[in-house]
């Protein structure tokens, strides 16, 4: 018991380091919500794919999982691809990226798994104006980030006041509220991309447990029957 408590105590600073000491907000996303996944996919191809790839994912697979026909895929998501069998991998030239941002934007196929959905959610909500940075913004959970705040028009600008984020214009409050939903949809899509079978796995999981529970009842009854005369 002592050891468990000690391990937990050692883990606490690691958890807070992972987010630069900032309390992460809960993404509360739901990978079974297809409407949310579709919205997220749309945001991703409109705002992220110019710089990032998700090269382990094919449009066709997205269409199948999100319930979209090939025409719907082509009209709504495939601005940078011709065939549904293509992967989401038109990235910018690596040398250009290095010149512009100092780093190459990483592939986002498994970022939801490596960083966690709460981190992603908080990250996309935590850009703020910082004139000392080359692109004018910084991020609370990713100090000195090389990525510009590409979704600023949907959120409104934020500034840092006493280590807390505040909207520069109070009138942007309604917009910022909608933005939190946008980000939830986007994180939901990235969570799905990180493990497209997750929903099916969860669905199968409870069926297996139910099967085992019913099987246990039969096995127990059988055991009682076998041992009845021996006791
Ligand atoms: C203009 C180019 C550009 C666009 C557009 C862009 N990003 Fe980025 N992004 C970057 C760069 C550059 C980095 C690397 C930052 C660093 O390492 O300092 C980055 C890093 C990230 C990271 C951190 C990855 C990690 O694990 O370190 C995430 C998550 C991310 N971007 C998500 C997004 C999402 C979601 C969108 C679309 C809404 C998006 N980005 C659009 C340039 C871009």
Q: How many CB atoms lie within 10 A of CB 170?
A: 9
What b/e sequence results for 8-26 when a residue is b if at least 16 CB atoms lie within 10 Å of its CB, and e otherwise? eeeeeeeeeeebeebebbe
Q: What is the pLDDT of residue 19?
A: 60
Spatial CA neighbour of 31 closest among 190, 182, 183, 177: 190
User: Ligand 1 in contact with 187 (CB < 6 A)?
Assistant: no
- Mutation to probe ligand 1, out of 52, 99, 192 (largest number of atoms < 8 A from CB): 52
Q: What is the pLDDT of residue 32?
A: 93
Identify each DSSP E strand in 146-230 by its residue range. Answer: 158-161, 164-167
Q: Which atom of ligand 1 is found nearest the CA of 101?
A: 12
Q: What is the pLDDT of residue 40?
A: 97
In angstroms, the CA 210 to CA 142 distance is: 43
Greatest CA span in the chain, whole angstroms? 84
Q: What is the pLDDT of residue 94?
A: 84
| Residue whose pair of structure tokens reads 């449009």 in the numeric block | 59
Going by alpha carbons, the residue nearest to atom 41 of ligand 1 is: 48
Q: What is the pLDDT of residue 16?
A: 45
Q: What is the pLDDT of residue 200?
A: 87
Alpha-carbon separation of residue 222 from 58, 133, 216 (angstroms): 50, 71, 10
Tokens for 92, please give them.
Answer: 């910018």
Evaluate whether the domain defined by 24-125+174-195 bears CATH number 1.10.760.10: yes
pTM for this entry: 0.86
In angstroms, the CA 205 to CA 165 distance is: 40
The per-residue pLDDT string of the chain (231 residues; one tens digit each, 9 = 90 and over) reads 666 666 666 565 545 445 667 899 999 999 999 999 999 999 999 999 989 999 999 999 999 999 999 999 999 999 888 899 999 987 678 888 888 888 999 999 999 999 999 999 999 999 999 999 999 999 999 999 999 999 999 999 999 999 899 999 999 999 999 999 999 999 999 999 999 998 889 889 999 999 999 999 999 999 999 998 886
Spatial CA neighbour of 182 closest among 217, 152, 211: 152
């Amino acid at each position: 018991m002592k050891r468990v408590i000690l391990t937990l105590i050692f883990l606490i600073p690691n958890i807070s380091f992972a987010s630069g000491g900032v309390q992460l907000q809960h993404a509360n996303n739901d990978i079974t919500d297809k409407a949310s996944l579709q919205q997220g996919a749309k945001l991703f191809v409109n705002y992220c794919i110019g710089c990032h790839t998700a090269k382990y994912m094919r449009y066709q697979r997205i269409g199948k999982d999100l319930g979209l026909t090939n025409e719907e895929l082509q009209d709504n998501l495939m601005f940078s691809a011709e065939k549904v069998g293509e992967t989401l991998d038109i990235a910018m030239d690596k040398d250009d990226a290095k010149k512009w941002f100092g780093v190459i934007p990483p592939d986002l196929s498994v970022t939801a798994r490596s960083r966690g959905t709460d981190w992603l959610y908080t990250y996309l909500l935590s850009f703020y104006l910082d004139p000392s940075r080359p692109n004018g913004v910084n991020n609370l959970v990713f100090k000195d980030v090389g990525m510009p705040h590409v979704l600023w028009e949907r959120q409104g600008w934020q500034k840092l006041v006493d280590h807390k984020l505040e909207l520069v214009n109070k009138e942007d409050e309604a917009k910022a509220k909608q933005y939190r939903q946008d980000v939830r949809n986007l994180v939901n899509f990235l969570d799905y991309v990180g493990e497209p079978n997750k929903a099916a796995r969860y669905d199968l999981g409870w069926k297996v447990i139910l099967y085992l529970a019913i099987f246990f009842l039969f096995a127990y009854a059988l055991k009682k029957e076998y041992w009845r005369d021996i006791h």
